[in-house]
């Protein structure tokens, strides 16, 4: 609450980041508004997706940010990171999907762009600020010299999964003004401030709706076979990027009365492996890129709860992570649809983010007969 402390707020044109700026200014901070420009117009995004975070609606969002900053009397700056977004997010997304994995671009965007290049480029341009803030629904806690992410008060809006890769050194200079608020409280407060975005609908993540076809218009994925666990050909797929583990709709095939699900994506043979729903369950997972928040937690069993995707309820598990970042996580109860490319995030019982990493492999559950690519060869 020091008027000599300057906070740069990452603004998106939505209600959450707008209210974050208002709250910080009311608390006496000097506030600067920052927006990263990421859209170059290189892709044919459908008109109904223009309000996703990556799309042709960006100019409207920037205009809304300019009006907000004028309304509350703070300076505003736009930082062009469109080239960085292409290299670090879009290329990563395409590469992972073509390799038969299911990436989460929001995690990469937050780590590399929003909490990385945006801060660095703003300071390189001559802007001076002490702290950085966003409108994410998440909290932080400092324990024994380490700053942890903590789940938000509003569990339905908690975004700690997307931010798990922020380490203690970065978190110590970041504030999240909405971490103790619910979404409805945010909208009510925004109305009280007279913000035009108080009732603005939520933007869709990335390109929205799972319609990724425009991102592959210059390197179209090859069609291939849809097979069962024994390798029998059941149909044809239109390219691995258009399928994900656990998918049921859009397969265009059916056998008997049991519905079929995507159990695995076999990039080596360009095949989509399908089977009954029981085959989606795994007893654990493996990762080669895990990081824990505290060094002393490596090389010893860690009782925790794990999320394997944003909307997954944290499940009890035991994690063992070695000093090189190789991790094995064993679930107490088999979990459904563990997708390589997504992230596994570890939590304590009281909601601290203990660490996380990208899933490389699901450990098949023998009792449920889950998919193994080796078994389809």
**Residue partners of 83: CB distance under 8 A and separation at least 6:** none
The length of the chain in residues reads 377
The pLDDT value recorded for residue 369 is 59
pLDDT tens digits, 122-158: 999 999 999 999 999 999 999 999 999 999 999 999 9
- Supply the pLDDT for residue 376: 44
Q: Is the pTM of this model over 0.85?
A: yes
SS3 letters across 112-141: HHHHHHHHHHHHHCCCCCCEEECCCCEEEE
Q: Which pLDDT score is estimated for 214?
A: 67
Give me the pLDDT at residue 201, please. Answer: 83
- Residue 185, phi-psi category: left (phi > 0), alpha (psi -120 to 50), beta (remainder): alpha
CA distance 168 to 146: 6
Structural domains present in the chain: 6-192 (3.40.50.620), 221-377 (2.40.30.10)
Helices (H), the chain: 15-26, 58-72, 82-85, 91-98, 105-108, 118-124, 168-171, 183-192
pLDDT digits (tens, 9 = 90+) for 209-268: 556 666 776 677 899 999 999 999 999 999 998 899 999 988 988 787 889 999 999 999
pLDDT < 70 regions, the chain: 1-2, 42-52, 54-55, 203-214, 217-218, 368-377
Residue-level pLDDT at 374:
42
């Amino acid at each position: 609450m020091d008027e000599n402390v300057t906070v740069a707020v990452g603004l998106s044109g939505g209600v959450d980041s707008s209210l974050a700026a208002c709250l910080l200014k009311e608390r006496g901070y000097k506030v600067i508004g920052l927006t990263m420009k990421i859209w170059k117009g290189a892709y044919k995004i459908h008109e109904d997706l223009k309000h996703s975070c990556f799309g042709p609606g960006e100019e409207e969002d920037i205009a809304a940010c300019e009006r907000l900053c004028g309304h509350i009397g703070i300076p505003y700056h736009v930082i062009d990171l469109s080239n960085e977004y292409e290299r670090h997010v879009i290329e990563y997304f395409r590469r992972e999907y073509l390799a038969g994995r299911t990436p989460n671009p929001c995690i990469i965007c937050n780590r590399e762009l929003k909490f990385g290049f945006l801060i660095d480029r703003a300071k390189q341009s001559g802007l001076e600020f002490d702290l950085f803030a966003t409108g994410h629904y998440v909290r932080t806690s400092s324990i024994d010299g380490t700053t942890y992410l903590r789940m938000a008060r509003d569990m339905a809006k908690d975004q700690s999964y997307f931010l798990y890769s922020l380490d203690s050194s970065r978190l110590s200079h970041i504030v999240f003004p909405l971490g103790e608020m619910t979404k409805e409280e945010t909208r009510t407060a925004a109305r009280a401030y007279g913000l035009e975005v108080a009732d603005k609908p939520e933007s869709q993540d990335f390109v929205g709706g799972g319609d990724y076809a425009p991102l592959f218009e210059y390197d179209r994925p090859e069609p291939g076979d849809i097979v069962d666990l024994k390798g029998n050909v059941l149909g044809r797929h239109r390219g691995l990027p258009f399928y994900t583990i656990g998918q049921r709709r859009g397969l265009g095939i059916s056998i008997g009365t049991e519905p079929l699900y995507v159990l695995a994506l076999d990039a080596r043979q360009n095949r989509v492996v399908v089977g009954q729903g029981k085959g989606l369950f795994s007893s654990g997972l493996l990762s080669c890129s895990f990081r824990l928040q505290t060094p002393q937690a490596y090389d010893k069993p860690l009782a925790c709860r794990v999320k394997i995707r944003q909307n997954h309820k944290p499940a009890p598990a035991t994690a063992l992570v070695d000093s090189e970042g190789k991790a094995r996580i064993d679930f107490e109860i088999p979990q459904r649809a563990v997708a390589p490319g997504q992230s596994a995030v570890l939590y304590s019982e009281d909601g601290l983010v203990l660490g996380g990493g990208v899933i490389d492999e699901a450990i098949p559950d023998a009792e449920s007969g889950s998919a193994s690519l080796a078994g389809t060869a």
